[in-house]
Amino acid sequence: MNNQPVHVAIAILYQKNKFLMQLRDNIPGILYPGYWALFGGHIEPGETPEVAVKREILEEIGYILPPFFEFGYYPSERLVRHVFHAPLLVELNQLVLNEGWDMGLLTPEDIHQGNCYSQKAGEVRPLGSVHQRIMLDFMETNQQA
């Protein structure tokens, strides 16, 4: 059995002091079902994190990443998260949600309180704890808190 952690590439996409996040499908068995999280996914064999984040964002929301930057590296026992950041240069209605239950531009207040209302879910849903920590780190680093 392979006990190596899975590597994923995720993106912090920001626009006018708001942050694009995905409400993950509410399906048992996936990581953070029904939680708000950052867009991204698994790094395929032979892929770099930079190539993976561009591919994942294009697959998940149809967005071609503009120039982007590495933000951080968040290892845990099961997952290693390679985190990048870039501006979101299009309006939300120009994105096509191909994966997930909903998406939205969350405010710093939403991130601090750890939850946000979803129109599609019809209720307030929590942020994934690791994703909230990453976002709080990013806002603190970039004085956007």
pLDDT in tens, the chain (145 residues): 567 899 999 999 999 999 999 999 999 888 889 999 999 999 999 999 999 999 999 999 999 999 999 999 999 999 999 999 999 999 999 999 999 999 999 999 999 999 999 999 999 999 999 999 999 999 999 864 4
pTM of the model: 0.94
Torsion 36-40-44-46 (CA) sign: negative
> What integer pLDDT is reported at residue 114 of this predicted model?
97
DSSP string of 83-122? EEEEE--S-GGG----SSSEEEEE-HHHHHHTEEEETTTT
As a whole number of Å, the CA-based R_g of the chain is 14
88, two tokens: 């979101």
